[in-house]
Amino acid sequence: MATMFTYNEEQAVKGGQSNFISETGAYIGKITEAKYTKSQGGAQAIEFSIETDDGQQGNYLSVYYRGKDQKEIAGGINMIQAIMGVTGVKELTVRRQGNDDIAPELTNKRVGLFLQKELITKNDGSESYRLQIICPFSPASQKTLAEHLNGEEPKRIQWLLNHTQDKDSRAKNPPRQEQYQAQHQYYQSTAPAPQNNSGFDDDIPF
């Protein structure tokens, strides 16, 4: 009789659980897609999707680099540059893929990302969450780009793990469902606040 499966408790515990990232923490994997997006108000972003080494999915990780007024967002540009740095990408171009404009240079690049969970209130009054990229790092050395360039030991990500909590941005007086249905036309999409940045090819140089 041939053995088809051998019990693995770690895998068993994951059975039936969501495979979407839902907690603040440091994640290592690959970028499955990086596409250029625009909010209803005109703010521009690169929206990242990742798959971690243990199979979790992280989608809608938007980094805004230009506001609704079309002015550059320094924090967002710095974040994109940092992601380029730890993935070894020297430039980003635009390529049409289906209905999307993507940055093909980042597809399948390995990356480490520290993500913070932000609790939010949706326009209809229900509660949800989104994930914000706080700091990219090398999946090989666990170093941020700044730590690598300064010849420092990898400490930043562990510090974030020890000190970063979920961000609560929920409305204190969320709109009722009927209010939303009557007034939803007045809601406008807004870009997230610029993100702080601390702080290569699959052959990551550090």
DSSP per-residue letters across 33-49 = EEEEEE-TT--EEEEEE
The verdict on pTM exceeding 0.75 is: yes
Q: Are 189 and 39 in contact (CB under 8 A)?
A: yes
Higher pLDDT, 194 or 27: 27
Tens-place pLDDT, residues 25-56: 999 999 999 999 999 999 999 999 999 999 99
- Measured distance CA(155)–CA(50) in Å, rounded: 23
Look at residue 10 in the predicted model and tell me its pLDDT.
73
123 confidence band (pLDDT: 50, 70, 90)? confident
First vs last C-alpha separation in the chain? 48
Q: Which of 73-77, 90-94, 127-131, 191-195 has the lowest mean pLDDT?
A: 191-195
Q: Which of 2-11, 71-80, 102-111, 189-198 has the lowest mean pLDDT?
A: 189-198
195 confidence band (pLDDT: 50, 70, 90)? very low
Look at residue 196 in the predicted model and tell me its pLDDT.
40
Higher pLDDT, 162 or 3: 162
Look at residue 158 in the predicted model and tell me its pLDDT.
97
3-state DSSP call for residue 80?
A: helix
Helix ranges restricted to H, the chain = 9-14, 74-87, 145-149, 156-163, 177-183
- Measured distance CA(193)–CA(42) in Å, rounded: 15
Look at residue 57 in the predicted model and tell me its pLDDT.
97
- Measured distance CA(63)–CA(166) in Å, rounded: 18
pLDDT (mean) for 179-198 = 38
Look at residue 176 in the predicted model and tell me its pLDDT.
54
Helix ranges restricted to H, 15-98 = 74-87
* 135's tokens: 């700091």
Domain spans, the chain: 22-186
